[in-house]
A and B are shown apart, each in its own frame.
Chain A
Amino acid sequence: MIKTVGQNLPIAICVKNVSKQFIIPHERVSTLKGTFVNIFRKNTYEKFYALKDVSFEVKKGEFFGILGRNGSGKSTLLKILASVYTANKGSVEIDGLVSPFLELGIGFNPELSGRDNIYLNATVLGLCEKEIDAKFDSIVAFSELERFIDQKIKNYSSGMQVRLAFSVAIHANREILLMDEVLAVGDSNFQSKCLREFARYKEMGKTVILVTHDIGTVQRYCDRAMLLRNGEVVKIGTAEEVGNEYIYQNMSDEEKRIVDEQKSVDKKTIHTAGESNMPEEGKINKVAEITGVEFLDKDGKVKNVFETGEDIVARIHYNARKRIEKPVFGVAIYTQDGVHLSGPNTRDSGFVIDSIDGTGYIDFCIGRNRFFTGRILFTVAIYDRECITPFDFKDKAYNFNVISKEKNQNGSVKLDISWKKK
């Protein structure tokens, strides 16, 4: 049971022990003759559990994310919530009318014009003709398809279809929105428009369920999230936790090993931090110490996962036990394989720090980061003014993850590239 203490909002969706099984015949019979022939033959089929014993609750006004890889059962679950599929076992209780948005569309007919499709789908979502007449302009305006509204849907690009479908879905004004990969197609402009609309929905006390495999969106916009894997619930919790779990799950075994080691190292550091007066290897004179590094996005929100192209601020917290004149802060950025990507410091960057004394922090800003998908390790050090002896040196002690939506480059760093042929 998931019950947040102190949050007594009414429940919008209650899913209990839901299982969904698909029967996949080895040779699909879809003719009568086939059936007759097969009556005498033993039918071989596979039972495939798309969902196994899934239970969760979503409260009214919540923004709930469902994460999972392809084939993890996300969309099946959403279809059950939308009553397109019927669950084999378990119960689904929904308080309120649902406006579903499945498989990038809400049932458009390609032969009909945009206008007719709006009328058809808005009716399907329960609006009457008068209401549609009243909302028609607003639906079209939101989709930005004024010029194309009398063209047949089959001539629309997939992005245009999604825009129109989404626009109808949100204008249906139902209490619960089910969104499956809605942000995958539209351009960034439209995406941010969608997300603004979601925020408005939330303010109105409506519930949004977002299915995606984009962790960034979930961590940014969802209150809570659920991670599915092979049809089972792996984790339900805050979006941050679930997102991090998802990243971990997606890593290869080797990567997992590194992260696990990292964790044990982290524990050790915490441990030794408790006895910080012990001199470490003699080299480091702990007059000043790095007490922690936080990673923030451009809005100042602490995050652990960034998208390629986002601004990243590394906030380096220090504690100087005595006054240090003109210290130099240095960072080194590594990929998870230990490849050294960059190693700037304040002196080389021409950033002069007069002095530090006591606790404080320095912000190291990366504008529009060019990292590619993966874990980025972060080394931080404080040196004296000659930049020779470190006061403190935390080697690859901090890290964050980068997720890239673009798949057109491999490797660790994204470059501005183009091709030419003579």
Chain B
Amino acid sequence: MTKSHENYRELVMRIAKTDFKLRYHGSALGYVWVILKPLLMFTILNFVFSSIFNYRNSGTPYYPLELLTGLLLFQFFSEATMTGLTSLVAKAQLVTKIYVPRWTLVLGSTMNAMFIFGMNLIVLAIFFAIYHKVPSLLGICLFVIYSLLLYILALAFSFLTAPLYVRFRDLSTIWEVLLSGIMYASPIIYPITIMPLKVRTILMLDPVAFIINYSKQGLINGEFADGLHFVALFLGIILAVALAFLVFRKYEKTVAELI
């Protein structure tokens, strides 16, 4: 077949940059929304749930920090999967009118979520400073690793679903609903400790909930997942990546005809 593109890195970055530019274009506040949106969400949730859980008495003295950390991670995942899922359809003009290796479109689209997450981490750092909380080095390292794993998971999901979304447009609606399910099934607005042990075990089978729980626990309370569970998570994600790779390779060929 045709000799393909020779400059993938530049291409992916250009797609990501373009998306970033388009993300808030036409809005008065523009990029300020990158930081403002999670902050507003945080303020509302914090107001509502702080009054429900009396966190100072329920063993979560840093509830606002836990909430913000969990929220940022979840929004990162949600944004990455949503844009990844719709990436091929949203960039139909780059699929049907020109040849670009399709994986660059999926990858480039999801990277936007990474930019936004990166900027939000600055806000998170400021909050940690306000609450006079210094996380341990191990906690920070694990947080970075968990964030990367979460991104890889989102990528696997995107590669799996992007070519399928071309065929079944209901996937985006289904995923939107599922995302809100995932949000409430993850310990974001509530501390995991309020759940009975049995439920906790079941919840931790969800990799997103697992990652969110242990990355914020590691940062704030110095609690870590045991090694076996971590390895299981790691293998699970690798499996997801392999599956996504196979599905993507099979279905990407006919994408241009079906869009």
Contacts and interface: CB of A to CB of B under 8 A. Distances in A.
A83 B2 CA distance: 7
Contacts of A81: 2
A82 B3 CA distance: 10
B97 A119 contact: no
Contacts of A123: 7, 10-11, 14
Nearest to A98: B2
Contacts of A103: 96-97
Interface string A83-126: 11110000010101110101101111101100010011101111
Contacts of B93: 105, 107-109
Interface stretch (B47-55, B135-143, B195-203, B249-257): B249-257
Contact of A31 (B5, B15, B168, B254): B168
A32 B170 CA distance: 7
B25 A111 contact: yes
Nearest to B252: A86
Contacts of B3: 94, 96-97
Contact of B98 (A30, A31, A124): A124
A258 interface: no
A269 interface: no
A179 to B, nearest CB: 13
Given A109-B93, A119-B14, A124 B100 contact: yes
A129 B168 contact: no
A22 interface: yes
Contacts of A100: 97-99
Contact of A126 (B6, B18, B168, B170): B6
Greatest chain A CB density within 10 A among B2, B3, B100, B168 is at B2
Nearest to B22: A111
Contacts of B99: 82-84, 98, 100
A84 B7 contact: no
Interface in A218-270: none
B95 to A, nearest CB: 7
Given A30-B167, A83-B1, A102 B98 contact: yes
A375 interface: no
A79 B257 CA distance: 10
Interface string B83-100: 000000000011111111
A92 B2 CA distance: 8
Interface residues of B, number: 34
A86 B253 contact: yes
Contacts of B174: 32
Interface string B232-249: 000000000000000000
Nearest to A33: B170
B169 interface: yes
A273 interface: no
A129 B10 contact: yes
B169 A30 contact: yes
A217 B6 CA distance: 33
Interface string A54-87: 0000000000000000000000000101111110
B21 interface: yes
B98 A120 contact: no
A92 B169 contact: no
Contacts of B11: 123-124
Contacts of B257: 22, 85
B21 A116 contact: yes
A79 to B, nearest CB: 7
Greatest chain A CB density within 10 A among B7, B93, B97, B174 is at B97
Contacts of B2: 81-83, 92, 94, 97-98
Contacts of B253: 86
A283 B228 CA distance: 111
B170 A31 contact: yes
A82 B167 CA distance: 22
A9 interface: no
B168 A32 contact: yes
A112 B1 contact: no
Given A82-B98, A84-B256, A98-B99, A112 B5 contact: no
A107 B25 CA distance: 19
Contact of A112 (B18, B95, B97, B254): B18
Contacts of A98: 2, 99
Nearest to B168: A32
Contacts of B25: 111
B97 A106 contact: yes
A104 to B, nearest CB: 9
A302 interface: no
Nearest to A13: B2
Interface in B1-57: 1-7, 10-11, 14-15, 18, 21-22, 25-26
Given A86-B254, A112-B22, 17 more contacts: A30-B168, A79-B256, A83-B99, A84-B95, A92-B2, A97-B6, A100-B97, A102-B96, A103-B96, A111-B22, A112-B18, A120-B14, A121-B98, A123-B11, A124-B5, A124-B100, A125-B98
Interface of B: 1-7, 10-11, 14-15, 18, 21-22, 25-26, 93-100, 167-171, 174, 253-254, 256-257
15 contacts: A32-B171, A35-B168, A83-B1, A92-B2, A94-B3, A97-B6, A105-B97, A109-B18, A120-B18, A121-B98, A124-B5, A124-B14, A124-B94, A125-B98, A126-B6
**Closest CB pairs A-B (n = 8):** A123-B14, A107-B93, A107-B97, A83-B99, A83-B2, A107-B94, A86-B253, A107-B98
